[in-house]
Amino acid sequence: MKSCLFALVLILVASTSWSQQTPPPAPTQYYGLGAGFISGTGFLYRWWDGPLGLQINFLPPTGVGLLNLGLNGLWLINDSEFTRFFGYFGGAGWWSTDVSATFGGGIGLELVLGGHIAIDLQGGYGITLSSSGTFAANPSGETSISYRL
C-alpha cells in the first residue's frame, strides 16, 4: 500500500512540474525580403515587442537610380501557433527620376512554416504623392518572406 501511495504522489508531483513548463518565447525579430507600395520594397527587418511592432524595408540604390525606404508600425490583432493577424500603418518613399511617397494602412496575415519561416500577405489602401504633381489613392497589396529569430 505504501508503494502505491508513493507512486501516486510521485506521478502527481511530476505531472504538476511538467504542466508548469512555459513554452519558448515567440520570435521577435525577422529578416527577409518584402514588396509593397505602403511597406516598401527590398530587404526587410521586422521587430515585435508584445502587441506592437515595427517594420523597415530598404532597397539600396540600383543601376537605374532607384532607392526605396519604407517604415511601418504594426499592431497585433490575433496570434496563434501558425498564424498571426495584424494591422499596419506607415509609408514608403521612392527616389529615382521622380520622388514619390505612399502613405496608408491595412491588415495582414502571417503564415508560419516550420516554426521559423514566415510568409506575409497584406492588403490595404494608400495615397501616393509625387514631385511631378501626381496624386493617386489606390488599394495596395504587400507580401514578404522572412526568417524569424
In this predicted model, what pLDDT tens digit does every residue of 68-102 receive, in sequence order? 999 999 999 999 989 999 999 999 999 988 899 99
Calculated CA dihedral for residues 57, 36, 41, 27, nearest 10 degrees: 40
Whole-prediction pTM value?
0.80
Residue found by looking up cell 511601418 in the block: 72
**What is the average pLDDT value for the chain, to the nearest integer?**
87
Supply the pLDDT for residue 124.
97
Residue found by looking up cell 527577409 in the block: 32
Calculated CA dihedral for residues 137, 32, 73, 125, nearest 10 degrees: 20
Supply the pLDDT for residue 66.
84
CATH number of this structure's domain 26-148, picked from the four choices 3.30.830.10, 1.10.4080.10, 3.40.50.11030, 2.40.160.20 = 2.40.160.20
pLDDT above 80 (res 131) = yes
